[in-house]
Structure formats: structure tokens, C-alpha cells
Structure 1
């Protein structure tokens, strides 16, 4: 046998042996990952055959088996100034003949809607407009939107607006396809039944007009469940849009206050997904892949998107807020929102978002300046960012390396910082960033909350298990210990 052929044959045999080893082994018992606080910025365990032989000798409780895989799911994304004009061709390419266009009363008057309608009419695509979406939607407004969609029987949806519009369109799509379902069937447990979505939905194209939620990339839809005085939602990969059209021209009309609060959502999306527990620390491992949650924990792919989104937000958000005509900053923030959407849409968020839902749902009467709404409103980005300095001070010890890497993104020199100071350093960097951004409440007190509200805020946070399970350092196995930790966090967040 020729030497070259012998070498190739040996390599092929080794490769085959390696593939067999990987195929027939399971997740490891890794000393690093048995302690969530020990994982470094890019350390995710790989299977070990030797450790598995030890583990397989003892039967495991299925509910305590750790996850061993992660999935990446995101919408197709088109990015570029002017690409909204292609939406009519997209709908025609999808074979859509009856499109339900979903928007709100403000966006319906803007250029984005004009460009969308021109695109549909140029291609002869029939459509009907629903412009009754509520900013920060409630379950009642979601149900009204669903009731408007069902009689039209669309074969596709087109959402034009911010996260509230896109999330509402996702749920219109879901309940149009599952017309006999009860509203709580798919809502996240324990507030709803958390049933999986068992069939494909209709095509949904999302055209974001704000740079914040990343909803154009994710399978998540959030709303207020009024009876429980808490935000909740539905999270499943089937909800994600077929296509997100990210056109920087569509965000040029955002007021400065909307730039700020939307950007703060991007900031927390990236920070929370970057610091979430590793995917292979999450339990239980699903018995069927259809039950694998959209929010899986930090993983090597989401890490790339999350960290880049954080760096871009720190660089460009202050510019976008200071000068709404800074087109480069606006474009980069729209891109950052999309990057963060891919990151958190697969890794998940944790404490800032879990605590934000009762903050919004239990608003004592605060109305954020710069928003054209009649009723009291705490914008979502404000509700997540107001606890961030307290949250990351608390989580710092779980993973000092990642918290220091995040602090470095804010411009902190970490070369001589001790690991035990990581949470405090990141907390200070965050607080400084928020103060310099301007017009942001410096704690819950400026939203109208006080110590007397904390117990209700804690009780509104406890049901947010879908995100809290990804929070490092939180004692979810002991409810009373968890309550005490949350009380301390809300107390810390009263002012900074």
C-alpha cells in the first residue's frame, strides 16, 4: 500500500472511532460544570465516555438529569436601508393571497407603513390592516386582536411596529391556527398550561420600527396578564417570524426617549444571556426535543451574539439618544437589537426580566416622559434596567470572568481587578452608564415604589420560573430562600 493511502486510511479509522465514541456517549460529570459559578467565558463541557460509564451504573432521576444539547433557532433576517420595499415580493414568493397587516395607531401614520402598503399593492397582494395594537399589550388587547384576525382567515401575517406589535402578531397567528384552544393553553407555566405548539403556523414577516426587543428574531411574545398583575407570555420556536426585515430607515422617527428605553432592553438582553447559567446545567433534560425550551442557558453560539450586542450598545446607544438623527448610531442599534435577539432568544434572560414583569404590572402610576400615551406606563426597557445594577452585583460571584468581561465592554480597566469584586465592578459600570444616558429613573423609588411594595413585587416575580431558572446564584429549590433573595434585590434596587 502506498504511504499516502496508508496515512489516509489510518486517519479515516481514527475519525470513525471518534464519531462512534461521540455517538454513544452522554453528557459528562464535569467538575467545572457541577458548579455553575465556575464556568469561564467560553467553557462548555463536552461528552466524556469514562465519566459516563460511572454515571450509567446508578439509575438517575429523569427530572434531575442535566441538559446535554442546545438548539439554535432564529428567523431569517434581511438587513439594509430601503429593504422594506421588497415586502410585497416576499409575500408573493410565499404564495400569500390574504395578508393581515398588524400595526398600532402611531406607526400606521409613519413612512414604514407607507412603504409596506406600496410594496403589497405593487405586487397585487390583498391585505387587511389591524391597527388596534396596544403599547405594552394586555391579555385583553391580545384577545381583541385575535378576534379581529379569525374572521379574515389570512394566509400570512405582516407585523409593522415595535415589539408590542410583533408580539401581538405572533399570538394572532398562533390562535388563528389553534382556533379551539383556550387562551391559557400555551401561556408559560405556572400562570398558564405551557403546552407545546404541535404544528407549523402561518408565515409571519416582521418589520421592526424600534431598535430594542429583537422580537423579529425570537419565538417569544410577552403581555400583561391583568388578573395576576404580572407580565407573562408564550415562548416556543414555532412563534418566530419567517422573516425579519430590519430596515434602518424605519427607526429614524423614534423619539429620544424611545431610543433610550428600547436600547436598555438590548443592554439587558445581552447582559442576561451572557451571564445565564450554561445550557448543560439546566434541568430537567427534555424527554422529547419538542419540549426543549426556547430559553436554554448560555451556549457557545449565543455567547458570540450576546457579547457583540453588548459592545455595540455601549458604543452606540448614547449617540442614538443624544442625536436621533445620527443615522450610523441608529443603524448599529437596530443591528445590535437583532444580534441580542438571536443571543437571548436561544440562551434566555434571567433576573432583570423576571423582576421587570411585576414592576410593569404593578405600576403605582408612573408615566415615562417622552412617550405619547394616555395611561401610566413604565416602558419595558426602563423596567428591566432599573434593577440591573443590583442584579449583576448579586450574580457576580457566580461567574467572575464573565462579569469582568462585561465590565470591560463598558470601558473598565479590569487588569488589576480581583475576581471577588467582579459583581460590584459591573454594577458600578452599569449605574454610571445609566446616569450618563440621562432621564432614567435611578431606582424603583423614582418609579413610585417603596419598601411597602416589595412583598407584592416578590410574589409577582416568583411565577416567572421560565427565566428565573436561568439565574445564577438564585435558590429556586428553596422558595423561602428565593423570596428572601428577591426581597434583598428589590430593596437594593430602590435607589442607586
Structure 2
């Protein structure tokens, strides 16, 4: 088997670690740092904590807090221009996946002659990025340890930048930043992390033993703790475990790929602004069931991560129980599970199916089995 595995060179997991970000950035040699976040992070006071920690270390701070969900290309350009005008020499991403993905592109392009459009795709970026620290405030995307950035182009199509330069210098996990997450955000991001694990483990294109080991570790953490943090948001140990599970899941999928669940979720985010984790949750169980015959052995191997040491009579039984447990978790999450309840019109379904099949087929290539446009459309209709 031939494969390559990449990850961030330094990972810090510590309650209250946000207060130490100034020293970490100073070690990277930065003196003028742009903090990338969204308005919610400002209102929670996290941006202020980061700014004070940076200024205490003698670092000047610029705050760009206009990040939006499914970050539009125009907003990412604004962030790049703001950092360039300010002559930033370091970048911090603080927030959910949208802020972290935006921060990656700011760090990469602020001193580059390339534009965003030049680097859509795989390994098209050149040059070096600025020092970069990524600080997630949700337990789900794993973006803090991936070299992938997903943004929305002017045609409302998700575009992906894949480049090793996007890996940060430091991934800083502070579970205190996740304690106040709303139930729906906790549920959606946690299910998102579970999708990362399952799709990494069943990938047809880049599956590898290191990612497999990480996937089972991550799914055990997520499976044991997701319902705990939904029902008991103040459970600090469970919050820390979810953050760690999300990070390890990110390392797994970044090195093994995601697949059809993500493919079907992308148009829901780009066209209807359904949060990414929620979009994944909507199509998660139907896609798993569609893949059941091809992924039976893999699902059976993952079943103990969610069901514990339960004896099964066959791989088929274990795989069926695994999919049913996923269905139960999605149902218990409190998230809406019908497209019609989230503003998606039935007339949009054929176009979304065509978009997945024609423009995002790279993710179908990694799925355990092929999908036709008609089969994609049928899954959308199943959850309509």
C-alpha cells in the first residue's frame, strides 16, 4: 500500500489555552497579527481574550470579524485585502470551520501574486503562507488540522482549495471555548465529525492504515460523548473529548478523503445556507444505507465504536445495527431532518443532484460505491 500522511506540526489541547496564544504567536516571529472570526465570536468575548493575550505579548492586532457561514469568495477577498493593507505578518483563525477556512486563505494569499481563483483545486498554490494558528470553537469541522479550505464562489458553488501550505503551525484546542455552544450547533458539528470519520474509513481513493486507526479512535470519542454534550452541555470532560475527537477525525479525513455525504451536503449549504454539519446530518443515514452492501465489512468494524462490545452474529448484522444507531443519533439530535422544513423547495432537487454528479463527482469517486444522478436525486427526495 502506498500513501502519504500529513498533519499540523504542533497540537495544543488545554483548558484556558486561548490566554497563551500571544506567546505561541511570538515564538513564530509575528508582530502584526490579523485575527479572523465572525460576529458571534466577538459577542462571546473570545476575540477580546485573544486580542489581550496577543497585545500582552507585544503583538499588534487587527480584527476581521465579518466572516459568514459557507464563506463567500467576496468576503474572503475582503479579509485578504484588509490583512495586506495592514501589513499583517501572522494570522489567527478563531471560530468554526468558516473562520478557520478563511484564515487559511488569508495566511496563504496576503503576500501572494495568486488570486483565489488561481488556486481552486489540488496543489495549485505556490509560495509560503504567513505564520498561522488555528483555534476551533466548535467540535466538528476538524479544519484546524486539515490542508483544505472550502468557500462559496459567486455562482453559489462550493469550491475547494487543497494545498499543504494550509496546514497551520499550531492547532490550539481550548475546550472552554465550546462550553456555551447552543444545542443545535453542538449536535450538527458533532455529527459532522462523525461523518468525517465514517467517510475516511470507507474511502475508495485514499484509505490508509494511519487514518483508519485515527478514525476508530475519533469515532469512539464522538460516539461516547455526543449525546452527553447534547443533553448535559456543562459536562466539561465530554466537551474536551468531543474537541479531541473532532481534531482526530479531521486528521483522518484530510488524509483519506470524504465522500458522498459531503457531496450531497455541499449544495444545501451553498444554495440554502444550511449549516454544513446540519446538511451532512440530513443525508447521512440515507447515504450510509445506500452504501450498506459495499461497506458492510467496514461498518461492522466501526460498529463497536458506537455500540460497545456487543456480540453480533455476522458482519451484516453489525453493519445494520451501526446504521440504525446513526439514524437514532440523528433523530435524537434535535435537528430538523426534512429539507422542506429548512426552506428547500422540491423543485431544487433535480438541479442539486445534477450539480453533485457533474461538479462534485470527485467525492462520489471516494464513496464505497458509485452513484448515478438519479440515485442522488432519490436520496434528496427521501429526506424531502
Please, what TM-score do these two structures have when normalized by structure 1? 0.73
Deviations 1:237-259 (A, max 9, x none): 11111101101111122122211
For 2:380 and 2:61, the matched residues in 1 are separated by 47
1:359 is the counterpart of 2:268 = yes
User: 1:446 aligned to 317, 326, 341, which one?
Assistant: 341
Shift of 1:422: 6.0
**Contact 1:305 / 1:339 at 8 angstroms: preserved in 2?**
yes
Deviations 1:315-362 (A, max 9, x none): 111111112211111111111111111111111111111110011223
For 1:236 and 1:466, the matched residues in 2 are separated by 16
Question: Which structure shows the bigger proportion of residues in helix conformation?
Answer: 2
Partner secondary structure for residue 87 of structure 1: helix
- The worse-fitting range, judged by mean Cα deviation, of 422-431 and 143-152 is 422-431
User: 2:129 aligned to 198, 201, 220, which one?
Assistant: 201
For 1:455 and 1:421, the matched residues in 2 are separated by 34
**Contact 2:262 / 2:280 at 8 angstroms: preserved in 1?**
yes
Shift of 1:430: 1.2
User: 2:350 aligned to 455, 460, 464, which one?
Assistant: 455
For 1:120 and 1:259, the matched residues in 2 are separated by 28
For 1:423 and 1:491, the matched residues in 2 are separated by 24
- The worse-fitting range, judged by mean Cα deviation, of 96-105 and 349-358 is 96-105
**Contact 1:387 / 1:443 at 8 angstroms: preserved in 2?**
no
Matches within 5 A, 1:219-238: 219-227=147-155, 229-238=156-165
For 1:176 and 1:198, the matched residues in 2 are separated by 12
Q: Name the residue aligned to 1:486.
A: 376
Matches within 5 A, 1:70-469: 70-178=4-112, 180-188=113-121, 194=122, 196-227=124-155, 229-277=156-204, 282=205, 297-363=206-272, 377-411=273-307, 415-420=311-316, 424-437=320-333, 439-449=334-344, 451-462=346-357, 463-469=359-365
Partner secondary structure for residue 200 of structure 1: coil
**Contact 2:123 / 2:163 at 8 angstroms: preserved in 1?**
no
For 1:489 and 1:256, the matched residues in 2 are separated by 26
Structure 2 vs 1, CA of residues 169 and 267 (structure 1 numbering), >3 Å: closer, same or farther?
A: same
Larger radius of gyration: 1
Deviations 1:49-104 (A, max 9, x none): xxxxxxxxxxxxxxxxxxx3323333521001122222111121111111111111
For 1:426 and 1:460, the matched residues in 2 are separated by 30
For 2:309 and 2:25, the matched residues in 1 are separated by 50
For 2:6 and 2:282, the matched residues in 1 are separated by 30
- The worse-fitting range, judged by mean Cα deviation, of 69-78 and 155-164 is 69-78
**Contact 2:203 / 2:366 at 8 angstroms: preserved in 1?**
yes
Shift of 1:488: 3.0
Partner secondary structure for residue 177 of structure 1: coil
Deviations 1:158-207 (A, max 9, x none): 122111111111111222132x323211112xxxxx55223221110111
For 2:61 and 2:295, the matched residues in 1 are separated by 50
Partner secondary structure for residue 99 of structure 1: strand
Structure 2 unaligned blocks of 5 or more: none
Structure 2 vs 1, CA of residues 417 and 455 (structure 1 numbering), >3 Å: closer, same or farther?
A: farther
**Contact 1:276 / 1:471 at 8 angstroms: preserved in 2?**
yes
For 1:466 and 1:114, the matched residues in 2 are separated by 40
Deviations 1:192-237 (A, max 9, x none): xx5522322111011111111111111111122241x322221211
For 2:98 and 2:132, the matched residues in 1 are separated by 15
Deviations 1:100-153 (A, max 9, x none): 111111212334323322221221112211111113311221122122122112
Partner secondary structure for residue 110 of structure 2: helix
- The worse-fitting range, judged by mean Cα deviation, of 442-451 and 303-312 is 442-451
For 1:355 and 1:116, the matched residues in 2 are separated by 36
> What's the C-alpha RMSD, in Å, of the aligned pairs?
2.0
Structure 1 unaligned blocks of 5 or more: 1-44, 46-67, 189-193, 283-296, 364-376, 476-481
Structure 2 vs 1, CA of residues 435 and 413 (structure 1 numbering), >3 Å: closer, same or farther?
A: farther
For 1:407 and 1:451, the matched residues in 2 are separated by 34
**Contact 1:434 / 1:440 at 8 angstroms: preserved in 2?**
yes
